[in-house]
Amino acid sequence: MLRIGICDDSAEAWQHMLQLCQKYYENNTDAFEYKMYKNAEEVLEYCDDEENQKIDILFLDIEMDGLSGIKLKERVLKLDKIWRIAFVSSHDEKMIDSFGIKTIDFIRKPAGYMDVKAVLEKVLIEKCENVGISYLSETGQNIIIYAEDIRYIEAQGKYAYIYTNGQNFVGINISEIEKRLEDSSVIRVHKSYMVNLEYATLRNGKLSIRDMDIEIPIGRSYKENVKRLYHEYGERMARRRM
């Protein structure tokens, strides 16, 4: 199931985007849901409701009444309700401003079918890569933490803390977590640490985590591999997203 959001202050524009998405799914067996938003404020209202499901891809206009699409991108950066964003705009000069962790593409208006098809296929690929860690909480509840949401992981003896927007203590050792996240962007960088490359910046031999005031050390035996994987990941995302 892919959840699609379309945000544009023009009813004609979002109806056009919806038709393109529907055309894609006419030729695919996967199901999809969609949500329509007339402005950025409606998107934020959706994000504030904890019961709402995550939007996998938001097709987002830039120039709208009220909050712009660029400002909305900045506001949802730390929110978990919007997973990926594809900007849809006739303002080419805003392309640089649209770049970000959640941004997967920039489509020039009027959008064409092949533009939308490319975005949806990128999102489906990334969803398949978004493996997770499943564990039982202290209350016996089954919890899943997806790789996408992990900033870094710190070993604590036989167990570990997984840091997302919050902190999760899990009764699994870091070596087992490494095995479960083998095909993700979360990599081992030290005997006591794993880092999600999506949120990391390599600087002066350490990895700083964006939006968190912390630097993660890189173990001596991990340095060459971390450097290689860091640059490979950056190149792969640059090719895939823009």
pLDDT bucket at 85, cuts 50 / 70 / 90: very high
The whole-number average pLDDT for the span 127-153 is 80
pLDDT bucket at 93, cuts 50 / 70 / 90: confident
**Helix 113-129, helix 223-241: angle, nearest 10:** 150
Q: What are the boundaries of each domain within the chain?
A: 2-129, 132-241
Token pair in block for residue 108: 């020039």
pLDDT bucket at 97, cuts 50 / 70 / 90: confident
Predicted TM-score (pTM) of the model is 0.70
Quickly name the fold that domain 132-241 has.
OB fold (Dihydrolipoamide Acetyltransferase, E2P) (2.40.50)
The whole-number average pLDDT for the span 129-139 is 74
Q: What is the pLDDT of residue 136?
A: 67
With tokens 């020039």, the residue in question is: 108
pLDDT bucket at 240, cuts 50 / 70 / 90: low
First to last CA, the chain: 24
The whole-number average pLDDT for the span 102-109 is 92
Q: Which CATH number fits domain 2-129: 2.60.40.10, 3.40.50.970, 3.40.50.2300, 3.40.50.720?
A: 3.40.50.2300
∠ CA 202-232-170, rounded to 5°: 65
**Residue 22 to residue 29: CA distance in whole angstroms:** 12
Percentage above 70 pLDDT, the chain: 96
